[in-house]
Structure 1
Amino acid sequence: MRDPQAEPSDLIRSVSRALRVLEAVGQSERGLTVKQVARRCQLTVATTYHLVRTLAYEGYVIRREDGTYVVGLEVADRFRELVVAFRGPAVVTETLRRAAAETGYSHQLARFVGNRPTITAVAEGPRSPYVDDLIPGFDDGAHALAMGKALLATLSAEQRARFLKESGMPAYTPQTITSGEAFEADLAAGERRGMQIEINQYRNGLACAAVLAVNDRDPERRVVLQCALPAGELMTSARIVRTRLLSTAANLADALKD
């Protein structure tokens, strides 16, 4: 949700409106007509028509035969560029892939992007439960995922409280931590353990473990390594998981020095 208080004085309204139109079209599974877009974006039909025509010309939306508009392929191109920018040096990708191949577990890198814990690179492992959310660009559920906990643990208690208040703590499962006090206790336990974990907090049957790979005074340069595995396996193999994560994190730290 946009903060009206943070609106820049030089905001270009037409650009803002075009992005709202693109968001509305992207959120619709069946596509939208110009009138439907106008209603959802609270714009006039005439204004919406010109915005949609421009977005269609640029390839960001596509007009179908029934008159509805859907997201265009240019959006996919921008997403691929984002993934490449997030991924970093090729050695980072190879390190993640090697860890996934050796353990069978999916591995993810995460860092703060716009003050939000965000997954920036992924290597899938065949033994991990498949979760379609955990892809580059995913920035939800920080309180319920180990990568979010590991990044939030680098902030002050006041900064964490502010983040959790703004983002909320929705219950993804009955095991999700939904109070700030319980969250602080969970982070403290992770610090003592030397590894932040979650078991069945984001998805039933899923567990995640995470360690800090790169620490830095600049929050945006802090990097966390997470692996996802079946919940039962983390409960029986936590020490092995931690040892492997720390080893991989050290390799990543070397690759990311520059």
Structure 2
Amino acid sequence: MAQRNNAATEKDADAHGGGVQSVDRALQILEILARDGDAGASEIAEEMGVHKSTVSRLVGSLVGGELVRQNSERGKYQLGFGVLRLASSIPGRLSVVREASDILERLAAEYKETVNLAVLRSNYAVNVDQAMGPSSLATYDWVGSLTPLHATSSGKVLLAALPVDERDQLLKKVGLPARTPRTVTNRAELEKQLLEVSRQGYAVVHEELEIGLTAVAVPIYNHLGNVIAAMSISGPAFRFTPEDDPGLIKGLCEAGLTISARMGFRRR
């Protein structure tokens, strides 16, 4: 009797809430299935703290919309192909430039330096957006500029994310020309740096592209966990020393993950 009353109470609450509670619970069910792979109605109901009949009713609607399917052998529920159909329409509508724009502006204002967003195109790091900090000494517009991958912080982030064979082909094609006396032109040394970039999650360069210019960059991920861009902060070497400011590197890394989340990436 108590269980029937609880189920009735939940149904009444859904009705009075205009269906909002049902939507919230349906989303919670999808989250549980995404996390666990599969689950039975009783397991879901226990975790959500609701009656099994409530879960069965909601799952029935999700099954009807092909968002959930039932495993015929085990009787448990799994995410359905409808989720994949919906998700596949998202990446094409997302623009990393649009999703990152306000964060670039915020970082430029906070750290008072130049912030750039770059992608890998035609064997170069191509800057596709930029925000200037109030203390920036330079007024150079990097947007559209093709910069060498091996001599820039963004380039090293993009290189580090490439499969080894793809990176090898690319570097054999473009070489490692020196842009300044500090440019890394030794392949073994570069590979060592790229391993460190992968390990620590960011890249720092000191005067490798231009004398007097220091930069630090972090990766931007898409919904598949692939690196699709790099975001950097650069400034004059005499005052900009990222390694001496852990807060800056941490802030840049968090900002990169925020943009990545907007692109569909989920932290593990």
Give TM-score, length-normalised by structure 2: 0.56
| In 2, Cα distance between equivalents of 1:200 and 1:131 | 18
Choose which of 79, 98, 107 in structure 1 pairs with 2:106: 98
Choose which of 243, 246, 251 in structure 1 pairs with 2:250: 243
Q: Does 1:226 align with 2:232?
A: yes
Other-structure match for 1:127: 135
CA 1:148 to 1:154, structure 2 compared with 1: closer, same or farther past 3 Å?
A: same
| Greater C-alpha Rg | 2
RMSD: 2.7
The answer to whether the 8 Å contact 1:96/1:107 transfers is yes
The answer to whether the 8 Å contact 2:160/2:197 transfers is no
Structure 1 letter corresponding to 2:117: L
Residues 191-233 of structure 1 show CA distances to partners (whole Å, capped at 9, x for unaligned) of 33331110111111111111112156596x7121111123243
How many pairs does the alignment contain?
171
Q: Does 1:202 align with 2:219?
A: no
Secondary structure, in 3 states, of the residue corresponding to 1:88? helix
Other-structure match for 2:36: none
CA 1:200 to 1:129, structure 2 compared with 1: closer, same or farther past 3 Å?
A: farther
Residues 31-50 of structure 1 show CA distances to partners (whole Å, capped at 9, x for unaligned) of xxxxxxxxxxxxxxxxxxxx
Give TM-score, length-normalised by structure 1: 0.58
Deviation, structure 1 residue 100: 0.3
Secondary structure, in 3 states, of the residue corresponding to 1:211? strand
Other-structure match for 1:147: 154
Structure 1 letter corresponding to 2:156: K
The answer to whether the 8 Å contact 1:161/1:180 transfers is no
| In 2, Cα distance between equivalents of 1:178 and 1:216 | 34
Q: List gaps (5 residues or longer) in structure 1.
A: 1-84
Deviation, structure 1 residue 126: 3.4
The answer to whether the 8 Å contact 1:108/1:121 transfers is yes
| In 2, Cα distance between equivalents of 1:162 and 1:256 | 28
Structure 2 letter corresponding to 1:250: L
Alignment of 1:2-151 (within 5 A): 88-89=97-98, 91-114=99-122, 116-130=124-138, 132=140, 135-151=142-158
Deviation, structure 1 residue 116: 3.6
Secondary structure, in 3 states, of the residue corresponding to 2:147? coil
The share of aligned pairs that are identical, in percent, is 25
